[in-house]
Amino acid sequence: MNFSLWLRTAVAFLVVNRRTTFILCFLISVAIGTLVFIISLANGISDIMITNSTGMYSGQISGGNLPSRISPEDLKKPFVTAVLQRFRLPATLIRQDRERPLDLVAIYPDQEKAHSFFYKKVIAGRFLLKGQKEILLNLETAERIGSQPGDTIIGQIGDHQYELKVAGIFQTGVDSLDRALAFCPVFEGLILPETWQAAIFLKAGTDLSSAMREFSRSGLKMDGLKPWTQSMPDLTQLLELNDICVNILVFIVLGVVSLGCAGSFAIFVVSRIKEYGVLRAMGVTGLETGILICLQVVLMNVIASAVGVLAGMLAVWSVGRAGIDLSVWTSHNRYFAATALIFPRLSIGAAGIPPAVLLGFCFIAAAWPVWLVASQKTCDIISKG
């Protein structure tokens, strides 16, 4: 088979029918460009949901009940930006005749402020200060015990009682934080438990699975480390749902575009069917005719896809400079609790999936015109064409 002959002929067919070629290419490019942008936008939305959910408090990897023999320094790997140490203390908060049992979490406020968004969720008063005997209450608890910033309350932790000044009240929108937790700084005299919790923040672009593998290889024998994908199954599901929706969209849009292209291309082939008949009369086989038609479809799609991907990349780049602020629509959504500024992110999938899917569809689209030519006798094509 003389592939270069068919390639040259396919190019010539497309060039001579440049108006039809241009219209079909334009249609495909617009669809591809739009899908590249939409997938990048979906990537950006997923990124911001992960950032909001992990950056708020837990980090990308959270550790529970870590023994005191392991220090935060032990967990500081090259791919880690910060390890926040926290101590969970079962406590009862007492104010006048009101009591509220909850978990009091002792933290290092300066480190929390440097690496998590949690401090941004203070709705009254202020965030905690390093080493101070003070407390940050969740809104529900503050209402239950009737406390305001500036009040002093008693924190009963085991057999010990501490006088704690209410520094502020927080509300994150995350149920697990808003209902049963209060925070205080690690201060002098506070009796800390044997175990601690870790919030591990990773450098941007670190692969979560490799990070987990690295921790398990470190020989520290930590059973309590969990990636966010395990500790936040709801978020994992949402992201999967996001992916499924985008993939369905890709298939539907490209399916419709391919159907349109198949129709247009079939008309394109039918209008010149006599030429295919002449080729067959010259001894060109059905397979070679099919290859010629498929090459035209593939060439057109490859060129249009390249243009579409470039256009999509350009759109991602231009929108990505300022981001898209969705805060109006996400103000009551905990997955956007800290920020709703979306930065579309181009990925290999975003740039690769639409052209790959379209290539698959374009072969299906080529089948119709190929069948139109192959199903008729050469002499009929020539006489009717």
Partner 1 sequence: MIQLKNLSKIYARGKAAVTVLSDVSFSVKNGNLALILGKSGSGKTTLLNCIGGLDLPQKGSVNCFGIRVDKLSGRKRNNFRRKQLGFVFQSGNLITSLSARRNIEFPLILNKYASAQIQDRVAFLLNRLDLEDVADAMPSSLSRGQAQRVAFARGVAHGPGLLLADEPTASLDTRTGLELIRLMHALSKEEKITMIVATHDKEIIPFADLILHLSDGRIKGENE
Determine, following the binding rule CB under 8 A, whether residue 254 of this chain makes contact with partner 1: no
Determine, following the binding rule CB under 8 A, whether residue 298 of this chain makes contact with partner 1: no
Determine, following the binding rule CB under 8 A, whether residue 23 of this chain makes contact with partner 1: no
Whole-number Å distance between alpha carbons of 117 and 299: 50
Q: How far is the CB of 362 from partner 1 (least distance, A)?
A: 20
Determine, following the binding rule CB under 8 A, whether residue 15 of this chain makes contact with partner 1: yes
For residues 35-64, which are near partner 1 according to CB under 8 A? none
Residue 134, token pair as written in the block = 């003070």
Q: Is there a contact between 91 and 104 (Cβ–Cβ < 8 Å)?
A: yes
Residue 282, token pair as written in the block = 């010259």
Q: How far is the CB of 11 from partner 1 (least distance, A)?
A: 9
Residue owning tokens 């009929």: 380
Report the residue count for the chain: 385
Number of residues in contact with partner 1 under rule CB under 8 A: 24
Whole-number Å distance between alpha carbons of 318 and 344: 10
The CA-atom distances, in angstroms, between 370 and each of 31, 32, 294, 295 are 24, 24, 8, 11
Nearer to partner 1 among residue 197 and residue 296 (C-beta): 296
Determine, following the binding rule CB under 8 A, whether residue 379 of this chain makes contact with partner 1: yes
- Which range of residues in 10-18, 61-69, 197-205, 254-262 is near partner 1 by CB under 8 A? 10-18
- Which range of residues in 14-22, 61-69, 138-146, 232-240 is near partner 1 by CB under 8 A? 14-22
Among 19, 283, 321, 348, binds partner 1 (CB under 8 A): 283
Among 3, 12, 176, 331, binds partner 1 (CB under 8 A): 12
Nearer to partner 1 among residue 280 and residue 334 (C-beta): 280
Q: How far is the CB of 268 from partner 1 (least distance, A)?
A: 12
Among 35, 284, 357, 362, binds partner 1 (CB under 8 A): 284
Determine, following the binding rule CB under 8 A, whether residue 19 of this chain makes contact with partner 1: no
Q: How far is the CB of 23 from partner 1 (least distance, A)?
A: 17
Nearer to partner 1 among residue 21 and residue 172 (C-beta): 21
Q: How far is the CB of 366 from partner 1 (least distance, A)?
A: 18
Determine, following the binding rule CB under 8 A, whether residue 377 of this chain makes contact with partner 1: yes
Whole-number Å distance between alpha carbons of 71 and 55: 21
The CA-atom distances, in angstroms, between 111 and each of 85, 86, 87, 172, 311 are 9, 11, 14, 19, 42
Determine, following the binding rule CB under 8 A, whether residue 213 of this chain makes contact with partner 1: no
For residue 37, give the amino acid letter: F
Contacting positions for partner 1 (CB under 8 A): 2, 5, 9, 12-13, 15-17, 272, 274-275, 278-285, 377-379, 382-383
